[in-house]
Structure 1
């Protein structure tokens, strides 16, 4: 699993959280950009803004090292995720999952 030791989710909750990210990525992500090694931008369909914000808030509760920021751009939402250098592998995993979901979307 790609969750860091700092994550406070237990082994029962973790697979559900991963599935929530995967579902949101599959439904909502329109572009993925790695801005820096520790910074990722997902372009999300605006209709999924509330779901993305809710997931980010819940993720901040268990992995406090994340910084999430949202900026609206017309009918899209830029969801930026930043982590400290020690958590780059977590961001790598999220970027890979988001990119894979984007590649599979019609």
Structure 2
């Protein structure tokens, strides 16, 4: 796993990190419709509405171990997930954005 993806501030046990990464990969592969990197601190994702439960669960668990993330989920016919980080954690957002399908 890329070290920029899981910073020292992450409290998720190291052994569990590849599984979390795989969950994000699966979410992106199955449900991502669009991704826009707004700026160094902000990533906007458009997802299939069927993914709401998965997104809510995954982002809640990610916030528990990496509390610097802010996930804002809106929309019904399409889901919009805004991911923001503080200026000191832009490398982590780079890591997440690097997982997006090309």
Q: Give the Å deviation of 1:56.
A: 0.3
Deviations 1:61-87 (A, max 9, x none): 000000110110x52100000000110
Kindly tell me the number of residue pairs found equivalent between the two proteins.
99
From 73, 86, 89, give the equivalent of 1:87: 89
- In structure 2, C-alpha distance between the alignment counterparts of 1:96 and 1:42, rounded to whole Å: 13
SS of structure 2 residue aligned to 1:79: strand
From 48, 55, 59, give the equivalent of 1:56: 59
Runs of 4+ in 1 over 6 A off after TM superposition: none
Unaligned runs of 5+ in 2: none
More helix, by proportion: 1
Other-structure match for 1:42: 45
Q: Give the Å deviation of 1:96.
A: 1.8
Q: Give the Å deviation of 1:58.
A: 0.2
Query: Pairwise CA RMSD of aligned residues?
Result: 1.0
Unaligned runs of 5+ in 1: none
TM-score by length of 2: 0.92
**1:29 matched to 2:70:** no
Deviations 1:80-104 (A, max 9, x none): 0000011001111111212xx2x3x
SS of structure 2 residue aligned to 1:42: strand
